[in-house]
C-alpha cells in the first residue's frame, strides 16, 4: 500500500462539475463549477448539464491538480461518481475518469454519490470530531431524503427514505411557485431569516415509520399561494419572508421528528446530517436545539462539503482504495445506482 495515497476525484452527477485531489483523508483541493445556465428554467435541464460538464471538466481537473500541487504522475487512483444521477452528466465524468485511469495505468474507483454525502464526515478536519460507529445520518439532497444507519465506511443501511419528492425538491419547488430562480433552497433559507415560522400553517406531511413524503406539502403550498394571489395580487411580495419561514419550519420540523423516531428506535445518540439541504440554517439550528434536549452528539458538515462536491467522492474513494476495491475499466455509470450494489 503506497503512503500517502493521492487520489483525483470527479463528481458530475447533476449540475456541478467538481474535481478534488486528496492526500489520504485530507482534501488538498476541491473545486466546483456551478452551472448557472439552469437558473431560469426552475430546475436542471439534463441536456444543458451534460454539455456544461463537457466544457468544464478538463479545466476543473487541471486546476484541482494545480491548486493541490500534485502532479499527474503522483496519483495513485481516480475516483468518480458512478451514480445515482443524470445519465448524460454521469457519462461525462465516468468517461473522463476511465480515460485518465487507463492512460496513467492506475486504479479506477467507482463511488456511490449517496454514500459519499455521508462519508464527507470523515474528511480530516482538525477542529471536528468524526462520528463513531454506529451513527445515524439524515441525508437530505435535491434528489434524495434518507435516514442512514452507518455501521462502517463500507456498510451503510437505509432505514427510512422518501416515497416521492426529496426535501431539496420541496424547497426548490416552493421557490419555483414563489417565482424564485433555481436552486431555490438557499433563497428560501435567506428569506426565512426575516420571517415568522408560525405565520402560516401547513399540515405536516405523513408517511409510515421512518419514511418521508413531500409531494402533498408541495400541492398544499401551491393551493395556498393560488388563493393568496386571488385575494391580493401582491400576496407573495408582501409575505415572502413569512411564507419562506413557515415552509422551512414545516419541512425542518418533519425531518427532525423522523430523526427523533430513528434515534429512539435504534438507541443511537450520535446523529449526523449531510447533503445540500444540510446547509439550511433552520435545519442546523433545530438540530442544535435537539442535541441539547436529547443529549445527542451531532455532526454537521462544513458548508463546502454539504452540496455536491468532489471532496466527498475522494474520501469515499480513499476508503475503497484501502480495501483495494477497484473497478474494471468496462464499468458504466448507472442513473439509478442502488444504495447497496
Residue among 90, 156, 308, 321 that touches ligand KG4 (CB under 6 A) = 308
Minimal CA–CA distance to 138: which of 1, 45, 10, 266? 266
Asked if 121 contacts 133 with a C-beta cutoff of 8 angstroms, the reply is no
Of residues 42, 185, 205, 333, which one binds ligand KG4 by CB under 6 A?
185
| Cα–Cα separations (whole angstroms), residue 100 to 87, 90, 246, 284 | 20, 15, 48, 39
Among 6, 135, 171, 299, binds ligand KG4 (CB under 6 A): 171
- Name the helix (H) or strand (E) containing 304: none
Answer for the pair 45, 38: CB distance below 8 angstroms, yes or no: yes
Give me the least distance between CB of 279 and ligand KG4, in Å please: 4
> In this structure, what are the phi and psi dihedrals at residue 326, rounded to the nearest 5 degrees?
-100, 165
User: Cell triple for residue 329?
Assistant: 475499466
CB of 32 to ligand KG4, least distance (A): 10
Omega before 214 within 30 of 0, i.e. cis: no
In the stretch 149-168, what mask flags binding to ligand KG4 with x, by CB under 6 A? -------------------x
Q: What is the smallest separation between the CB atom of 36 and ligand KG4, expressed in angstroms?
A: 15
Interface with ligand KG4 includes 189 (CB under 6 A)? yes
Helix (H) or strand (E) run with residue 41 in it: none
Q: Is 308 in the site for Zn ion (CB under 5 A)?
A: yes
Q: Smallest gap, in angstroms, from Cβ of residue 104 to Zn ion? A: 27
Q: Which of 12, 141, 146, 174 binds Zn ion (CB under 5 A)?
A: 141
Distance CA 271, CA 134 (A): 10
Applying CB under 6 A, the span of 103-111, 138-146, 222-230, 290-298 interacting with ligand KG4 comes to 138-146
User: Omega before 4 cis (within 30°)?
Assistant: yes
- Provide the minimum distance between the beta carbon of 303 and ligand KG4 in the complex, in angstroms, as a whole number: 9
**Residue among 263 and 280 whose Cβ is closer to ligand KG4:** 280
Q: Can you tell me the distance from the alpha carbon of 44 to that of 90, in angstroms, rounded to the nearest whole number?
A: 14
**Taking contact as CB under 6 A, which single stretch among the options 36-44, 58-66, 184-192, 235-243 is the one that binds ligand KG4?**
184-192
Choice from 42, 160, 276, 311 touching ligand KG4 (CB under 6 A): 276
- 168 contact choice in Zn ion, ligand KG4, none (CB below 5 to 8 Å, kind-dependent): ligand KG4
Binder to ligand KG4 among 108, 277, 316, 337 (CB under 6 A)?
A: 277
Measured CA to CA in angstroms, residue 132 lies from 129, 149, 337 at distances of 9, 12, 27
Judged by CB under 6 A, the chain residues 11 through 30 that form the site for ligand KG4 are 14
Cell matching residue 116: 459519499
Question: In the set 30, 141, 162, 327, which binds ligand KG4 (CB under 6 A)?
Answer: 141
* Per-residue CA distances from 218 to 204, 251, 255, 301 (Å): 11, 11, 15, 27
Helix axes 235-266, 215-231, angle to 10 degrees: 160
Q: Which residues contact ligand KG4 (rule: CB under 6 A)?
A: 14, 141-143, 168, 171-172, 183-186, 189, 275-277, 279-280, 307-308
Q: Which residues bind Zn ion (CB under 5 A)?
A: 141, 308
Amino acid at each position: 500500500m503506497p503512503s500517502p495515497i493521492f487520489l483525483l476525484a470527479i463528481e458530475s452527477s447533476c449540475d456541478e462539475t467538481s474535481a478534488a485531489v486528496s492526500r489520504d483523508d485530507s482534501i488538498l483541493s476541491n473545486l466546483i463549477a456551478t452551472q448557472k445556465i439552469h437558473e431560469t428554467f426552475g430546475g436542471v435541464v439534463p441536456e444543458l448539464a451534460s454539455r456544461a460538464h463537457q466544457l468544464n471538466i478538463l479545466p476543473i481537473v487541471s486546476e484541482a491538480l494545480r491548486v493541490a500541487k500534485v502532479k499527474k504522475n503522483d496519483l495513485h487512483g481516480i475516483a468518480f461518481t458512478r451514480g445515482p444521477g443524470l445519465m448524460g452528466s454521469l457519462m461525462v465524468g465516468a468517461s473522463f475518469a476511465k480515460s485518465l485511469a487507463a492512460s496513467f495505468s492506475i486504479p479506477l474507483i467507482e463511488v456511490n454519490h449517496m454514500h459519499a454525502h455521508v462519508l464527507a464526515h470523515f474528511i480530516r478536519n482538525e477542529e471536528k470530531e468524526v462520528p463513531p460507529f454506529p451513527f445515524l445520518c439524515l441525508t437530505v439532497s435535491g434528489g434524495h431524503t434518507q435516514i442512514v444507519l452507518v455501521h462502517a465506511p463500507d456498510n451503510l443501511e437505509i432505514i427510512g427514505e422518501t416515497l416521492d419528492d426529496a426535501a431539496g425538491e420541496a424547497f426548490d419547488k416552493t421557490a419555483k411557485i414563489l417565482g424564485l430562480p433555481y436552486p431555490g433552497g438557499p433563497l428560501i433559507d435567506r428569506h426565512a431569516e426575516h420571517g415568522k415560522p408560525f405565520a402560516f400553517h401547513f399540515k405536516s406531511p405523513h408517511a409510515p415509520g421512518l419514511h418521508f413524503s413531500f409531494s402533498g406539502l408541495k400541492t398544499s403550498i401551491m393551493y395556498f399561494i393560488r388563493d393568496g394571489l386571488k385575494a391580493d395580487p401582491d400576496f407573495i411580495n408582501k409575505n415572502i419572508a413569512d411564507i419562506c419561514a413557515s415552509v422551512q419550519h414545516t419541512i425542518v420540523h418533519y425531518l427532525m421528528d423522523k430523526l427523533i423516531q430513528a434515534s429512539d428506535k435504534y438507541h443511537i445518540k450520535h446523529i449526523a446530517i449531510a447533503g445540500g439541504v444540510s446547509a439550511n440554517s433552520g435545519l442546523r439550528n433545530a438540530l442544535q436545539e435537539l442535541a441539547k434536549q436529547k443529549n445527542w452528539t451531532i455532526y454537521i458538515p462544513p458548508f463546502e462539503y454539504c452540496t455536491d462536491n468532489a471532496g466527498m467522492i475522494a474520501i469515499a474513494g480513499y476508503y475503497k482504495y484501502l480495501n483495494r476495491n477497484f473497478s474494471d475499466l468496462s464499468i458504466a455509470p448507472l442513473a439509478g445506482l442502488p444504495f447497496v450494489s
